[in-house]
C-alpha cells in the first residue's frame, strides 16, 4: 500500500486501502499535489460524520483551562501552544481528522 501526503502533511491512503481499525470512515480526497486538494464525504457517511463532529465539539468545550487544553493536545501527539481557544480548535480539527482519514479517489 503506497500512501501519499497532502501539501500540508496529511496522509492520503490509496483508493483500495482497507479502513484502519481506529477510523470511523473515509473522507474522500482528490489530492493532485499541486498545493491544494478537495475533500468530501460520501452521502452515506454524512450522519455518522456529523455525530462525530458534534461529540468532538462538546469534548472541546470542556477544555476550559490552559492546562486542560495543553494536556488534550499532548494526548493527540501535538506540541501545545497559543491561546486556549486556538488549542481547542486544533484539538477539534486533529481529533476529527484522525477519525476520518483521507482516501484518494478520482
pLDDT, one tens digit for every residue, the chain (106 residues): 789 899 888 999 999 999 999 999 999 999 876 778 899 999 999 999 999 999 999 999 999 999 999 999 999 999 988 999 999 999 999 999 999 999 998 7
Q: What is the pLDDT of residue 94?
A: 93
Domain ranges of the chain: 4-104
Global pTM value: 0.84
Q: What is the pLDDT of residue 18?
A: 94
Pull the grid cell for residue 48.
Answer: 455518522
Burial 69-90 (b: 16+ CB within 10 A, else e): bbebbeeeeeebeeebeebbeb
Pull the grid cell for residue 97.
Answer: 481528522
Amino acid at each position: 500500500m503506497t500512501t501519499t501526503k497532502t501539501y500540508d502533511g496529511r496522509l492520503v491512503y490509496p483508493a483500495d486501502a482497507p479502513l484502519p481499525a481506529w477510523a470511523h470512515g473515509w473522507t474522500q480526497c482528490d489530492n493532485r499535489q499541486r498545493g491544494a486538494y478537495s475533500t468530501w464525504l460520501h452521502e452515506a457517511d454524512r450522519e455518522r460524520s456529523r455525530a462525530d463532529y458534534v461529540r468532538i465539539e462538546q469534548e472541546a468545550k470542556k477544555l476550559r483551562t490552559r492546562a486542560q487544553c495543553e494536556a488534550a493536545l499532548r494526548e493527540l501527539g501535538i506540541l501545545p501552544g497559543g491561546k486556549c481557544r486556538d488549542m481547542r480548535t486544533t484539538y477539534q480539527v486533529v481529533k476529527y481528522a484522525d477519525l476520518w482519514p483521507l482516501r484518494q479517489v478520482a
